[in-house]
């Protein structure tokens, strides 16, 4: 079913040509069941092949199609077009440098992501022959929600601290580190808490809660970050009581 | 400066959090009394009345009284200092965070120490 | 001058297969240098969208023998039995490793790993993490891979060619999408793990990136593609988008119903019989098509469909086991599965065929290995069983890497200047493409025409005449695709150049599919011909090999590795 | 987009591989209702700092003896002081309501071996303690008990 036409005001930036980002307008016919991404694909296929952006799965799970839609970070393949008026602005994700058009630079995020040691740390590695470990459904529940992050980085675009403090680890990375800390199979909390208390410290978060408001996967990174603070304080306090080997 | 700040961060956050939690819980009653009930004359300030020097002094100088006053004074200072620091950061002052933060925390520390003296002196 | 990077093992693809291979390579030799090249960040790979589960024997009531037999039978006896035996044996170990690495498998009350029922599997042996199994496996693998600093990632690098010297593969040329430069990434062995090619069809569960690049790369280097005619249709995709509603929804009790509200699968003539909803995908897909052809479909804006009914399962179980299905149906079909049936129709899902490899993942080109969906090591034969392929990525990703490491140790340095010359040529090709504003063909037009002809010729039911017509159309598209119009001449993040490169790969792969299909004059597994409606073991119990050569495609045969299990009539 | 975010926000590991446009803050922020609430929450910090020092002075005056204390009490009726206290009261209630909403989810599902109660229980507990302590405080200071 046709929804008539809508106007898209899209940010364009080509470092080879433009000194700074500019906008371009496209007026296109849209369908009632389209997501925002469908409209952008239509523009690329039919009107302007040079428009650059990332996308792949079109089912809200690969995390690559985040953009600012009318000033809010959105997963464009999940956001219904019908909930907007006749004109939409599409911009690259806020708080990230822009490489081209709607493509932002992920390097800083990937570094932070790796910094929190997002892998199982155990004093002694297990052999396959030992079989799968036991984990009660309850223990699984303790971290499950925080393992649902698709790394779409919408939360980074929404967080006021990320906007101003370039070192801040940021919601998704902290949620990921916390996910492993809360995993009953993991023994690496000390190491990660040291990271959490170091450069880019989790204590920079001012609990704006914007990250959780925009998260398309209900990861609740704000909850994770603030739980992580709680744990990091307990860990810090107990370090006065029990001497740590490494530091 | 920054390294020092990083080391202090957990403690500051703890005090800040308690400033919000305990501070807010304690402040509400106090503010109701001095902001509403006292000006309306519902609680009296006269010699034998509720807020008289003698009665309040007796209440305040108990160990519990001293502790409550300490919490009531010091914790909001930390909440305030920390939030003001964040206001600076949010409004573009992240590059000067360390000196601003340390000054603010110095103020809160001074206030807290003074509060300790004040309750001991009672 | 092209930038040169040197490593030992080069892995193309950061999906389940590529990541498992990278980890296996550094496990096999912690000193080795591994390049992990991927055209998207690894966690964006399409493995992320797999929903239902990964198969491996886990319970006492189950056995390797049973898993093996189910797989052989599912493959319509075209699977290589040595490969299958190795696979079922390694499967539990691989999934256990993933458990050790932190994969949040769903659990039974006692804390053991939970398993669910899947189509064509006689017992519950599919491990799952709610209904986001691929997502959790991929992220677990990616995060685990970050421990190893010997794995050097080349994110958003598009591999355009295999660099071959003296009959050995010695590296790849890769377009750095961000800067627009072509790099020569040199090494002693290369593993292709580039996933499937669903995008050659119009209606598919596959994401944008599944354009069969690895198959085209191998074919261009003279390596045959095997069993390309076998394209799996999944019975339950959402009309319009093609988004998958996982088979696990049937595993958990979902029922297929026609416009009259009847469970049509229980009717014997569809060949699914008693197993009904838990039959294999090829059979159920055919049953759905028959049902629609018989006029018992429901019509909607995207054609006829039938219903997948989950309403009787109950909120609690659906929310615990199938939360993603709820989200997908609500967001993309506008129905709430708690109270309404989900509209579904068969959708292109998986390529059984791929780069011809042996059990070690080795191809006919020395130094070149392949694993995952892009490879055809003949585990899946004519029809893959649901939940076997995620496990396949792990088992054969690891094995290919182990052999690639061994191969790297024994091989000598190539002739670097010859390799660099090839990379330079690639740089020139990409650069010409970038400036090709005057090309006469629009990428989206070619894509649409390719999609249309593939569906017409190589759908659920095939006919000789239409298959031959498709072969013709694809050949003409191949010519037209050499003159694509690229309006974007920027160096930086030029996605139109990528689309053009992918378009060429897709046409190549489509050619292999259509040519191989037209030559198989029987019905077996996913390849169902109306003109030849039964299986013909006498003449067609063999794999198809397709070489894409300068003069056109050439077909050959390869024998099936039989053994333990005798071919029999496939009945459920 | 209105204001620029910090130029180094999410800065590249290898800067300048290709030139980038600097990061921008979301244009919607200044007018966004959620961001307004958040900013207001930050601004209550100023009041907390002031009220903290005000209380310090009050506690100090209690130590100074009856005359000073009575003068202090008298000053509380000054309109400016009343206005300040009422402003503080409003902000304290605002802080409580926003913070109590956020607090339960920042409670880890498990702290070592201990498990805190479910989220709704924490929330109810917070409100109960808040109202209880406030009532107790008012009762004591107004002389309803301990007189
Ligand atoms: C919707 C859906 C659901 C599924 N559900 C299940 C299930 O429940 N159980 C199951 O067993 N299987 C399932 N499958 C199948 C299974 O997910 C795939 O077969 C498997 O994930 C393929 O993994 P892969 O590593 O081979 O490829 P992919 O995950 O597709 O990864 C391919 C990689 O190669 C890279 N690449 C490709 N081309 C190039 C190039 N030219 N240059 C550089 N890099 C390149 C890509 O960037 C990507 O990283 C499902 C598939 C789909 C589509
Ligand atoms: S936490 Fe949510 S918003 Fe942030 S990256 Fe993950 S999924 Fe995206
Ligand atoms: S938005 Fe930012 S400030 Fe904290 S709660 Fe979320 S990380
Ligand atoms: S395209 Fe994958 S999340 Fe939107």
Nearest-CA residue for ligand 1 atom 21 is: C47
Nearest-CA residue for ligand 2 atom 7 is: A149
- DSSP H helical ranges for C298-387: 315-321, 323-332
3 state SS of C532 = coil
Helices vs strands, H then E, count in chain A? 9, 7
Nearest residue of B to residue D76, measured between CA atoms: B34
Does A79 sit in the ligand 4 pocket, CB within 6 Å? no
Contacts of B118 in chain D (CB under 8 A): 56, 59-60, 63
- Given a contact cutoff of 8 angstroms between Cβ atoms, the answer to whether C443 and C507 are in contact is no
**Do chain A and chain C touch with ≥3 beta carbon pairs under 8 Å?**
yes
Contacts of A110 in chain D (CB under 8 A): 13
In this structure, the number of other CB atoms found within 10 A of the CB of residue C556 comes to: 13
pLDDT at A244: 61
pLDDT at D108: 85
If asked whether residues A129 and A214 sit together in one domain, one would say: yes
Beta-carbon separation of D17 and C492 below 8 A: no
Check which CATH number belongs to the domain holding A94 and give it.
Answer: 3.10.20.30
Nearest ligand atom owner, CA of C135:
1
Does A92 sit in the ligand 3 pocket, CB within 6 Å? no
pLDDT at D3: 61
Nearest ligand atom owner, CA of C14:
1
The contacts of residue D121 (CB under 8 Å, 6+ apart) are none
The contacts of residue C48 (CB under 8 Å, 6+ apart) are A57, A61, A62, A63, A150, C134, C135, C138, C139
pLDDT at D1: 39
Beta-carbon separation of C495 and A140 below 8 A: no
Structural domain boundaries in chain B: 2-120
Nearest-CA residue for ligand 2 atom 2 is: A215
Give the Å distances, CA to CA, from A213 to A65, A72, A207, B33, C21.
18, 11, 12, 37, 38
pLDDT at A111: 95
Residue A39 has pLDDT above 50, yes or no: yes
| Chain B interface includes D136 (CB < 8 A) | yes
Interface mutation target, options B21, B27, B43, chain D, most CBs of D under 10 Å: B27
3 state SS of C17 = helix
Query: Which one of D45, D65, D77 has the shortest CB-CB distance to B83?
Result: D45
Q: Which of C188, C250, C307, C524 is catalytic?
A: C250
In this structure, the number of other CB atoms found within 10 A of the CB of residue D122 comes to: 16
Separation of alpha carbons C102 and C444, rounded Å: 42
In this structure, the number of other CB atoms found within 10 A of the CB of residue B94 comes to: 21
Residue A57 has pLDDT above 50, yes or no: yes
- Residue-level pLDDT, tens digit, chain D, 147 residues: 346 777 676 664 565 478 999 999 998 888 899 999 999 999 999 999 999 999 999 999 999 999 999 999 999 999 999 999 999 999 999 999 999 999 999 988 877 778 889 889 999 999 999 999 999 999 999 988 877
- Residue that terminates a domain, selected from A64, A82, A104: A104
- Residue that terminates a domain, selected from A87, A104, A121: A104
Active site residue C234: yes
- Given a contact cutoff of 8 angstroms between Cβ atoms, the answer to whether D45 and B81 are in contact is yes
pLDDT at C423: 97
Give the Å distances, CA to CA, from D127 to A230, B69, C225, D10, D99.
21, 22, 68, 39, 11
- Given a contact cutoff of 8 angstroms between Cβ atoms, the answer to whether C77 and C46 are in contact is no
The contacts of residue C302 (CB under 8 Å, 6+ apart) are C239, C240
Contacts of C179 in chain D (CB under 8 A): 17-18
Distance from Cα C498 to the centre of ligand 2, integer Å: 27
| Chain D interface includes A70 (CB < 8 A) | yes
pLDDT at C317: 96
pLDDT at D11: 62
- State phi, psi for C565 to the nearest 5 degrees: -110, 125
Residue A151 has pLDDT above 90, yes or no: yes
Separation of alpha carbons C365 and C369, rounded Å: 8
- State phi, psi for C234 to the nearest 5 degrees: -95, 135
Does A162 sit in the ligand 2 pocket, CB within 6 Å? no
- Residue that terminates a domain, selected from A104, A138, A153: A104
Q: How confident is residue A247, by pLDDT bands cut at 50, 70 and 90?
A: very low
- DSSP H helical ranges for C31-132: 64-74, 81-100
Does A63 sit in the ligand 4 pocket, CB within 6 Å? yes
**Beta-sheet pairing, C225-226 with C54-55:** unpaired
Structural domain range at position A150: 107-246
Calculate how close chain B gets to D76, using CA atoms only, in Å.
Answer: 7
3 state SS of B108 = helix
If asked whether residues A7 and A59 sit together in one domain, one would say: yes
pLDDT at D13: 53
Contacts of C500 in chain A (CB under 8 A): none
Which residues of chain B carry a pLDDT beneath 50?
A: none
Radius of gyration of chain D (CA): 23
Nearest-CA residue for ligand 3 atom 7 is: A171
**Do chain B and chain C touch with ≥3 beta carbon pairs under 8 Å?**
no
Contacts of A166 in chain D (CB under 8 A): 6, 8-11
The arrangement of secondary structure in C426-541, i.e. its CATH architecture, is: Up-down Bundle (1.20)
If asked whether residues A30 and A72 sit together in one domain, one would say: yes
- State phi, psi for A60 to the nearest 5 degrees: 60, 40
Distance of CA C305 to the CA centre of its chain: 25
Distance from Cα C377 to the centre of ligand 1, integer Å: 16
What is the domain count for chain A?
Answer: 2
Q: Please, which residues bridge with residue C107 across strands?
A: C113
Separation of alpha carbons C223 and C512, rounded Å: 12
Does A172 sit in the ligand 2 pocket, CB within 6 Å? yes
Nearest one of D42, D1, D40, B90 to A72, comparing CA atoms: D1
What's the pLDDT tens digit per position in A166-191? 899 999 999 999 999 999 999 999 99
| Chain C interface includes A11 (CB < 8 A) | no
Nearest one of C232, C249, C248, C236 to C373, comparing CA atoms: C232
Mean pLDDT to the nearest integer, C388-396? 98
Calculate how close chain A gets to C157, using CA atoms only, in Å.
Answer: 14
- Read out DSSP for chain A? -EEEEEEEEEEE--TTT-SS-EEEEEEEEEETT-BHHHHHHHIIIII-TT-------SSS-S---EEEETTEEEETTTSBGGGS-SEEEEEPPTTS-EEETTEE--HHHHHHHHHT--S---SSPPPGGG-PPP--HHHHHHHHGGG------HHHHH-HHHHH-TT---HHHHHHHHHHHT-TT---HHHHHHHHHSTT-GGG-----HHHHH-TT---HHHHHHHHHHHHHHHHHHHHHS--S--
Interface mutation target, options B83, B86, B106, chain D, most CBs of D under 10 Å: B83
> Which of A222, A224, A228, A232 has most ligand 3 atoms within 8 Å of its beta carbon, as the pocket-test mutant?
A222
Contacts of A203 in chain B (CB under 8 A): 9-10, 12-13
Separation of alpha carbons A48 and A41, rounded Å: 10
pLDDT at D14: 62
Separation of alpha carbons A95 and D5, rounded Å: 6
CA trace torsion D56, D59, D60, D66 (10° rounding): 150
Class (C level, CATH) for B2-120: mainly alpha
Q: Which of C144, C234, C349, C384 is catalytic?
A: C234
pLDDT at A78: 98
Radius of gyration of chain B (CA): 18
If asked whether residues A116 and A233 sit together in one domain, one would say: yes
Q: Residue C132 half-sphere exposure, CB side, CA atoms within 13 Å?
A: 26
Nearest residue of D to residue B66, measured between CA atoms: D59
ipTM: 0.95
The arrangement of secondary structure in C236-348, i.e. its CATH architecture, is: Alpha-Beta Complex (3.90)
Structural domain boundaries in chain C: 236-348, 426-541
Does A211 sit in the ligand 3 pocket, CB within 6 Å? yes
Distance from Cα C40 to the centre of ligand 4, integer Å: 12
Instruction: Indicate left, alpha or beta for C271 from its phi (over 0: left) and psi (-120 to 50: alpha).
Output: left
Instruction: Indicate left, alpha or beta for B78 from its phi (over 0: left) and psi (-120 to 50: alpha).
Output: alpha
Distance from Cα A162 to the centre of ligand 3, integer Å: 8
Structural domain boundaries in chain D: 30-106, 110-147
């Amino acid at each position: 079913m046709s929804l008539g036409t809508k106007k898209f005001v899209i940010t364009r930036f080509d470092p080879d040509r433009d000194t700074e980002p500019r906008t371009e307008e496209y007026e296109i016919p849209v369908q009632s069941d389209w997501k925002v991404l469908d409209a952008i694909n239509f523009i690329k296929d039919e009107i302007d092949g040079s428009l650059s952006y990332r996308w792949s799965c079109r089912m809200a799970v690969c995390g690559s199609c985040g953009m600012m839609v009318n000033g809010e970070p959105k997963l464009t393949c999940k956001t219904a077009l019908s909930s907007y008026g006749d004109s939409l602005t599409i911009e690259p994700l806020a708080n990230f440098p822009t490489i081209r058009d709607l493509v932002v630079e992920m390097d800083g995020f990937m570094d932070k992501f790796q910094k929190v040691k997002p892998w199982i740390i155990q004093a002694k590695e297990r052999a396959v022959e030992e079989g799968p470990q036991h984990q009660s459904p309850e223990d699984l529940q303790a971290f499950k929600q925080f393992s649902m992050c698709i790394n779409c980085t919408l939360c980074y675009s929404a967080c006021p601290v990320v906007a101003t403090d370039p070192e801040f680890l940021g919601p998704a990375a902290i949620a990921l580190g916390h996910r492993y800390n809360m995993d009953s199979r993991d023994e690496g909390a000390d190491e990660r808490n040291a990271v959490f208390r170091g450069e880019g410290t989790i204590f920079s978060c001012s609990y704006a809660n914007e990250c959780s408001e925009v998260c398309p996967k209900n990861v609740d990174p704000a909850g994770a970050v603030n739980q992580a603070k709680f744990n990091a304080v307990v860990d810090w306090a107990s370090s006065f009581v029990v001497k740590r080997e490494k530091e | 400066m920054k390294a020092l700040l990083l080391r202090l961060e957990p403690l500051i956050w703890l005090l800040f959090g308690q400033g919000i939690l305990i501070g807010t819980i304690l402040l509400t009653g106090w503010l109701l009394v001095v902001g509403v009930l006292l000006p309306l004359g519902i609680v009296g300030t006269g010699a034998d009345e509720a807020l008289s020097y003698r009665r309040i002094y007796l209440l305040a100088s108990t160990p519990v009284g001293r502790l409550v006053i300490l919490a009531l004074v010091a914790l909001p200072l930390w909440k305030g200092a920390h939030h003001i620091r964040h206001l600076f950061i949010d409004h573009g002052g992240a590059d000067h965070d360390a000196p601003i933060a340390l000054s603010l925390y110095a103020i809160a520390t001074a206030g807290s120490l003074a509060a300790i003296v004040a309750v001991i002196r009672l | 001058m092209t930038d040169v990077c040197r490593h030992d093992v080069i892995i193309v693809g950061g999906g389940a297969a590529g990541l498992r291979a990278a980890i296996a390579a550094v496990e096999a030799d912690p000193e080795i240098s591994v390049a992990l090249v991927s055209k998207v960040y690894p966690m964006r790979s399409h493995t992320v969208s797999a929903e239902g589960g990964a198969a491996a024997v886990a319970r006492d009531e189950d056995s390797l023998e049973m898993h093996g037999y189910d797989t052989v039978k599912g493959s319509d006896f075209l699977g290589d039995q040595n490969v299958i035996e190795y696979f079922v044996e390694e499967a539990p170990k691989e999934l256990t490793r993933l458990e050790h690495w932190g994969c949040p498998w769903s659990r039974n009350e006692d804390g053991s790993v939970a398993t669910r029922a899947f189509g064509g599997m006689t017992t519950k042996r599919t491990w799952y993490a709610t209904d986001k199994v691929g997502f959790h496996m991929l992220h677990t693998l990616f995060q685990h891979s970050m421990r190893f600093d010997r794995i050097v990632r080349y994110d958003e690098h598009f591999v355009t060619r295999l660099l071959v010297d003296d009959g050995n593969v010695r590296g790849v040329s890769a377009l750095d999408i961000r800067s627009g430069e072509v790099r020569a990434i040199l090494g002693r062995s290369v593993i292709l793990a580039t996933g499937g090619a669903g995008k050659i069809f119009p209606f598919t569960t596959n994401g944008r990136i599944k354009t069969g690049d690895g198959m085209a790369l191998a074919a261009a280097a003279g390596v045959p593609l095997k069993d390309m005619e076998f394209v799996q249709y999944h019975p339950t995709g959402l009309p319009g988008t093609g988004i998958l509603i996982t088979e696990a929804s049937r595993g958990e009790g979902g029922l297929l119903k026609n416009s009259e509200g009847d469970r049509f699968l229980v009717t014997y003539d569809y060949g699914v019989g008693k197993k009904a909803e838990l039959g294999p995908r090829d059979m159920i897909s055919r049953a759905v098509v028959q049902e629609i052809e018989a006029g018992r479909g429901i019509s909607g804006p995207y054609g006829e469909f039938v219903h997948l009914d989950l309403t009787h399962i109950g909120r609690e179980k659906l929310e615990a086991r199938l939360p993603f299905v709820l989200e997908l149906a609500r967001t993309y079909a506008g129905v709430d599965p708690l109270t309404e049936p989900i509209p579904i129709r068969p959708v292109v899902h998986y390529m059984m065929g791929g780069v011809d490899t042996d059990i070690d993942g080795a191809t006919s080109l020395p130094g070149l290995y392949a694993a995952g969906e892009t490879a055809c090591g003949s585990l899946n034969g004519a029809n893959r069983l649901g939940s076997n392929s995620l496990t396949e990525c792990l088992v054969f990703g690891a094995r290919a890497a182990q052999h690639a490491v061994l191969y790297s140790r024994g091989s000598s340095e190539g002739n670097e200047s010859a390799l660099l010359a090839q990379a330079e040529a690639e740089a020139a090709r990409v650069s010409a493409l970038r400036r090709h504003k005057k090309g006469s063909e629009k990428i989206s037009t070619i894509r649409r025409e390719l999609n249309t002809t593939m569906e017409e010729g190589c759908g659920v039911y095939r006919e000789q005449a239409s298959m031959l017509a498709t072969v013709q159309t694809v050949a003409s598209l191949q010519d037209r695709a050499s003159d694509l119009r690229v309006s974007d001449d920027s160096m930086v993040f030029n996605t139109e150049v990528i689309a053009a490169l992918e378009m060429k790969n897709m046409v190549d792969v489509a050619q292999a599919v259509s040519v191989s299909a037209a030559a198989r004059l029987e019905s077996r597994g996913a390849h169902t011909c109306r003109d030849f409606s039964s299986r013909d073991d006498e003449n067609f119990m063999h794999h198809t090999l397709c070489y894409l050569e300068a003069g056109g495609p050439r077909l050959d045969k390869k024998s099936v590795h039989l053994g333990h299990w005798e071919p029999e009539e496939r009945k459920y | 987009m209105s204001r620029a975010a910090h130029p180094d926000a999410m800065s590249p590991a290898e800067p300048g591989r290709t030139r980038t446009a600097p990061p921008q803050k979301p244009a919607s922020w200044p007018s966004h209702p959620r961001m307004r609430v958040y900013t207001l929450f930050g601004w209550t910090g100023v009041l907390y700092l002031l009220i903290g020092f005000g209380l310090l002075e009050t506690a100090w005056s209690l130590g100074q003896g009856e005359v000073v204390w009575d003068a202090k009490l008298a000053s509380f009726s000054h309109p400016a002081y009343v206005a300040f206290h009422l402003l503080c009261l409003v902000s304290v209630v605002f802080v409580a309501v926003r913070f109590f909403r956020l607090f339960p989810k920042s409670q880890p599902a498990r702290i070592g071996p201990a498990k805190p109660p479910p989220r709704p229980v924490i929330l109810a507990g917070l409100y109960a303690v808040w109202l209880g302590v406030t009532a107790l405080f008012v009762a004591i200071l107004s002389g309803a008990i301990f007189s």
